[in-house]
């Protein structure tokens, strides 16, 4: 885990493109449906892409791009985004892949070269 936070607005939305699935609760579904002016049933028919064995529902699967990521790399349902998205920060994850991609994208090459693989100064 890294303590170094990054500017999410400078990132090309790696978390929405590669960070795995997004599970939605019943509350998430209701909030998203209302935001999109849909019934719960309409929302589920249009936007649920996966159900796991336990019955959990997902709006993003695996390493695909989130269906709600806009052309401008911004979330089109940000105000109503699910709990999984609200709580996700790439620098606070065991798997640092997304953070390292975002860090590489945001930091000048000279600054990156100062640090070794662990992010510690040489």
* 27: its two tokens: 């509350």
Residue 122 pLDDT:
43
- Whole-number Cα distances in Å, 115 to 80, 92, 95, 97: 38, 19, 19, 17
Q: Which residue has the higher pLDDT, 3 or 49?
A: 49
- DSSP state, residue 121: B
Give the pLDDT band (50/70/90) at residue 25: very high
Cβ–Cβ under 8 Å, residues 99 and 89: no
Percent share of the chain, pLDDT over 70? 86
Give the pLDDT band (50/70/90) at residue 115: low
Q: Which residue has the higher pLDDT, 77 or 98?
A: 77
To which residue do tokens 């019934």 refer? 39
Mean pLDDT of the chain: 87
Residue 26 pLDDT:
97
Residues contacting residue 75 through CB under 8 Å, at least 6 positions apart: 16, 66, 68, 69, 81, 85
Give the pLDDT band (50/70/90) at residue 68: very high
pLDDT 10s digits, 38-48: 999 999 999 99
Cβ–Cβ under 8 Å, residues 105 and 6: no
């Amino acid at each position: 885990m890294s303590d170094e936070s990054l500017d999410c607005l400078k990132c090309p939305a790696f978390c929405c493109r590669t960070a795995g699935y997004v599970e939605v609760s019943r509350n998430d579904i209701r909030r998203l449906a209302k935001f999109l002016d849909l019934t719960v049933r309409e929302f589920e028919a249009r936007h649920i892409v996966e159900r796991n064995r336990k019955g959990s529902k997902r709006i993003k699967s695996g390493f695909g791009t989130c269906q709600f990521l806009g052309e401008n790399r911004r979330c089109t349902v940000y105000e109503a985004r699910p709990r999984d998205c609200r709580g996700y920060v790439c620098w606070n994850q065991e798997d640092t892949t997304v953070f390292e991609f975002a860090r590489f994208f945001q930091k000048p090459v000279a600054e990156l070269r100062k640090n070794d693989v662990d992010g510690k100064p040489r």
